[in-house]
Amino acid sequence: MSESHTTNAEKPLLAATGRGLECRAGNFVIDPYRKTRVSVITHAHADHAKAVADIYYAAESSVPLLKKRLGENLDIRGIPFGQPFTLGDTNVTFHPAGHVLGSAQVRVEHNQDVWVFTGDFKRDPDPSCEAFELVPCNTFITEATFALPVYRWQPGGEVAEEIYRWWQSMKATGRTCVLFCYALGKAQRVLAELTRFTDETVYLHGAVAPLTDIYRQAGINMLPTEKIDLRKKDNDFTGKLIIAPPGASGSSWMRRFPKAVTGFCSGWMRIRGNRRRRGYDRGFVLSDHADWHGLLKTIEQTGASQVLTTHGQANALIRLLQEQGINAKELVTQYGGEEDTDDTPATDNSNNGDD
């Protein structure tokens, strides 16, 4: 492994360029942000999946989400997890990243040199998507969204129980709970985790409903849901739980729910001041990314001698890895981590029915 590692430094198999994570030997770009012929897509979040390529390769289970977000008529080719395919001089395989439905790590092999890009990933169990799979490699390119020791997650089931208790206590006082969650992944994870506590219907913002339908069609078990129809004036949401994208917070859409209390589900809620600054009544620490311990454990288990980080404050992680003798550095990319930036339009399309 150390021999191929020397050549890595001269001619990296994957390099961060102005187009994305580019593979010259395979003539493709992973998660491109500029015009590209052949792309390989890790998952359907907006900072990774952009409509800029002629051909898209993606994990099979992410194809309905990608079509919904990028366009039904694009050339999107679904490949089952674990099934190798050839691009240029490389062999490429998708492996589950455990981040959202269909999210993939990309394994690229060329002349016995193996690189893995995680995309976004997490290690914690999540009933709404495929479980993370460890993939040994020489070079590991990892996201580092929460790369500080303060970021440690509780199990999702415990957080769901907190959400359930909050909902029930607010119901007892005649309030409506509006829980802000990213529309793709987080919302469906909450709906799946809550099945352990209730079978009550949850009401969805128009941006969350179609993505939830895709999850349901994929066989994910979630609470029953109903899309909020803003045309119905006599709806009473007292005692109900509503899930909406963060962009709807503070918007005119919220006027429909005068008795609402608000909550926000995010890894960023681990930092106490964030909830207050963003004006939510409650914060729930639930993340779709690996925490500090998850990052360290995963890096060690891959056996990689070179570790490159994307989209995060990775200085502490890089220093620690260097002390352990690992060749670690940061790659500059445009991947933001959807917990950083809301990638969901705040508008509710339920009036024009085009979603």
Closest distance of CB 300 from Zn ion, Å: 23
Is 45 one of the binding residues for Zn ion (CB under 5 A)? yes
Closest distance of CB 313 from Zn ion, Å: 17
Sheet holding 28-30, edge to edge: 15-17, 20-23, 28-30, 36-41, 53-59, 75-79
Which one, 130 or 338, has the nearer CB to Zn ion? 338
The beta strand positions in the chain, using DSSP E, are 15-17, 20-23, 28-30, 36-41, 53-59, 75-79, 85-87, 90-96, 104-110, 113-117, 139-143, 176-180, 202-204, 225-227, 241-244, 260-265, 282-284, 306-310, 327-330
Closest distance of CB 118 from Zn ion, Å: 10
Closest distance of CB 130 from Zn ion, Å: 14
Site for Zn ion in 303-342 (CB under 5 A): 338
Which one, 120 or 126, has the nearer CB to Zn ion? 120
Q: Tokens for 55? A: 């051909």
Q: Which of 208, 155, 202 shows the shortest CA–CA distance to 186?
A: 208
What single letter denotes the amino acid at residue 117?
F
Site for Zn ion in 59-78 (CB under 5 A): none
Burial (CB count <10 Å: 0-12, 13-18, 19+), residue 339? buried
119-127, 144-152, 253-261, 345-353 -> range binding Zn ion (CB under 5 A): 119-127
Which one, 118 or 225, has the nearer CB to Zn ion? 118
Closest distance of CB 266 from Zn ion, Å: 13
Q: What are phi and psi of 255, to 5 degrees?
A: -65, -20
Is 126 one of the binding residues for Zn ion (CB under 5 A)? no
Which one, 43 or 205, has the nearer CB to Zn ion? 43
Is 193 one of the binding residues for Zn ion (CB under 5 A)? no
Closest distance of CB 247 from Zn ion, Å: 16
40 DSSP β-pair partners: 30, 57
Which one, 43 or 175, has the nearer CB to Zn ion? 43
With CB under 5 A as the contact rule, the residue among 22, 109, 113, 120 that binds Zn ion is 120
Is 289 one of the binding residues for Zn ion (CB under 5 A)? no
Residues that bind Zn ion (CB under 5 A): 45, 120, 338
